[in-house]
Amino acid sequence: MQEISPYGFGHINRTYLLVTSERRYILQKINHNLFKEVDKLMHNIREVSEYNRKVTLERGGDPDAECLSLVLTKNGESYLHYGEGYYRVYKFIENSVCFQLVEKPEHFYESAVAFGSFASMLAEFDAKSLYEILPNFHNTPVRFQNFLASVKKDAFDRVKEVGPEIEFVLQREDYCPRIVSLLEEGKIPTKVTHNDTKLNNVLFHKDTGTALAVIDFDTIMPGSICYDFGDSIRFGCSTAAEDETDLDKVHFRIDLFEEYVKGYLHALGKDITVVEKDHLVDGALLMTLECGMRFLTDYLDGDTYFRISRPKQNLD
């Protein structure tokens, strides 16, 4: 090993760049306070990443340049438990860059192609073979019940401060089960979902700007692709950061929405059902509602889940 240094902007795991005489790697110390069942977490990542490499090879691609690729230990394991830490290593994808915000519409289009291709590649994968690493992660009715419990408990005497926000959520209770109900009734299929489909989880070619690979598989679980589509729209179509205090700066960019829809549906091709397609917009609305509801719930609970840098940031 020639060099090791901190790398990236992630807040969940500790990430480092390893440089050797042969190639570069990404080393991560897994946050096992959040991901308490590391073996199940790494089972999901290994199954999906190895499947993607296999399909990419079959299609004539280069897995090292197009896939998140685990480096196994000498014993063939997907991670190393050393002392009190859990560690994993990925091959570094060369000639790649990552964007934190949408700078050009074509980047958002390319991210849609990347996530659509990811979903298409895994269309035949048995999602039920994966563990639910974070139970009820996108179960909006459960999130709503958690919100109600926090309102009732009012542990920090904050309910009186946020009456309009609470009422906003209460008025949308009937909307919460829209996707969950379709899954439970078998009207839309359970598929592999990424569950963190933000722009910064796509690597782009540093010269051409085309999408290379989807990264960060920590939240891969069974679910609906409507959630993945929706979270991309929630994050990428806003003209401001999630915690922008000046609401005059917060708008929905319909041009970016249209770009994303074109890229996502083009990449998915036939690997999306009519019912899924009809509810993609519901996914965007639900992910926005759910995320706002989680921020509000955390504020009522004393700001214990989301990291804040100023008072009332969870309300912004």
95-316 maps to CATH 3.40.50.300: no
What are the structure tokens assigned to 177, written together?
A: 């089960």
Q: Which residues have C-beta within 8 Å of that of residue 232, sequence separation ≥ 6? A: 111, 112, 115, 197, 198, 199, 260, 264
Query: What does the mean pLDDT of the chain come to?
Result: 94
- The ranges assigned to domains in the chain are 1-93, 95-316
User: What pLDDT, on the 0 to 100 scale, is given for residue 125?
Assistant: 96
End-to-end CA distance of the chain: 44
φ, ψ (nearest 5 deg) of residue 212? -100, -50
Q: What would the CATH number be for the domain defined by 1-93?
A: 3.30.200
- Write out pLDDT tens, residues 153-176: 999 999 999 999 999 999 999 999
Beta bridge partners of 204: 97, 211
What are the structure tokens assigned to 263, written together?
A: 């890229």
Closest-CA residue to 73 (of 93, 52, 58, 87): 87
Q: pLDDT at residue 98 above 80?
A: yes
Average pLDDT over residues 73-91: 96
Closest-CA residue to 204 (of 70, 112, 99): 99
3-class state of residue 20 by DSSP: coil
- In terms of Cβ atoms closer than 10 Å to its own Cβ (0-12, 13-18, 19+), residue 107 is buried
User: Other C-beta atoms within 10 Å of 129: how many?
Assistant: 12
User: What pLDDT, on the 0 to 100 scale, is given for residue 304?
Assistant: 86
Confidence band, pLDDT 50/70/90 cuts, at residue 85: very high
**To which residue do tokens 């000046």 refer?**
246
Q: How far apart, in whole angstroms, are the C-alpha atoms of residue 42 and residue 172?
A: 36
Amino acid at 165: E
Q: How far apart, in whole angstroms, are the C-alpha atoms of residue 218 and residue 41?
A: 7
Q: pLDDT at residue 1 above 80?
A: no
The DSSP H or E segment spanning 226 is helix 225-236
Average pLDDT over residues 41-69: 96
User: Other C-beta atoms within 10 Å of 19: how many?
Assistant: 14
Confidence band, pLDDT 50/70/90 cuts, at residue 87: very high
